[in-house]
Amino acid sequence: MIIYNVTSNIDESIHQKWLEWVKEHIPQVLSTGYFTEAKLTKVLVKEDLGGVTYSVQYRAKSREALEAYYKNEAAKLRQDAVKHFGDRVLSFRTELEIIDEYTVSY
């Protein structure tokens, strides 16, 4: 299983607007059919460059699904963020492979 992680640092002047936007953006990404779920998290470590940092983790159906997303959808969806926020949002992407998952049973 693959996690596609997008970490974004948002300028404080647009933080609330970006947060509203991303809560609409995530369902759009999920609607492409390449992912099974997503988690929006706030990074609690303060960045030296300021701003507020978030991570969105999308669980891909497979490596092939992620590659198809890159090929068919990623550019268009990334452009939407640039159109709305320009350089006031800095993002980087990471691919993670799930090796094992553990849960606690009480």
Q: Give the tens place of pLDDT for each residue, 33-53.
A: 999 999 999 999 887 788 999
Domain residue extents for the chain: 2-97
Q: What is the pLDDT of residue 47?
A: 76
Can you give the pTM of this predicted structure?
A: 0.91
Distance between CA atoms of residues 66 and 75, nearest Å? 13
Per-residue confidence band for 1, with pLDDT thresholds at 50, 70 and 90: confident
Rg of the Cα trace of the chain? 15
* CATH number at 2-97: 3.30.70.100
Per-residue confidence band for 106, with pLDDT thresholds at 50, 70 and 90: confident
Alpha-carbon distances of 37 from 7, 13, 95, 101, rounded to whole Å: 16, 29, 15, 16
